[in-house]
Amino acid sequence: NAGVTQTPKFQVLKTGQSMTLQCAQDMNHNSMYWYRQDPGMGLRLIYYSASEGTTDKGEVPNGYNVSRLNKREFSLRLESAAPSQTSVYFCASSDLSYNSPLHFGNGTRLTVT
């Protein structure tokens, strides 16, 4: 049981380059999330998708776009990377019932130079 799978694990970009972070879950969960983790700031929600076909902004959406491709997959795109987007990105999923916990991937460490 793979759970939540994120690719790539590491990425280095130059300012202005674009890239897409991929996330897939095999638990048949309705909700999927993208977070970024920065030292001393905990996790901050970028975007989330409560169900296939819907996406909503979180706390820090600027500079990002998302696509809920199907129930399994939720991708995060950086159109023009900036050094401020250097961070560790986590994808998570849950079954949306109240109190259901999040299941996290192992993260993507992104550096923008």
Partner 1 sequence: AQSVTQLDSHVSVSEGTPVLLRCNYSSSYSPSLFWYVQHPNKGLQLLLKYTSAATLVKGINGFEAEFKKSETSFHLTKPSAHMSDAAEYFCVVMNFGNEKLTFGTGTRLTIIP
- State the binding string over 2-41 for partner 1 (x if CB under 8 A, else -): --x--------------------------x--------xx
Counting contacts by CB under 8 A, is residue 45 touching partner 1?
Answer: yes
What 3-state DSSP class applies to 83?
Answer: helix
Contacts of 97 (CB under 8 A, 6+ apart): none
Strands (E), the chain: 4-7, 10-13, 19-25, 31-37, 43-49, 56-57, 64-68, 74-78, 87-94, 103-104, 108-112
Nearest distance, CB of residue 50 and partner 1, angstroms: 6
Selected binder of partner 1 within 44, 52, 65, 67 (CB under 8 A): 44
Residues in contact with partner 1 by the rule CB under 8 A: 4, 31, 40-45, 48, 50, 58, 90, 92, 94, 96, 98-99, 101-102, 104-107
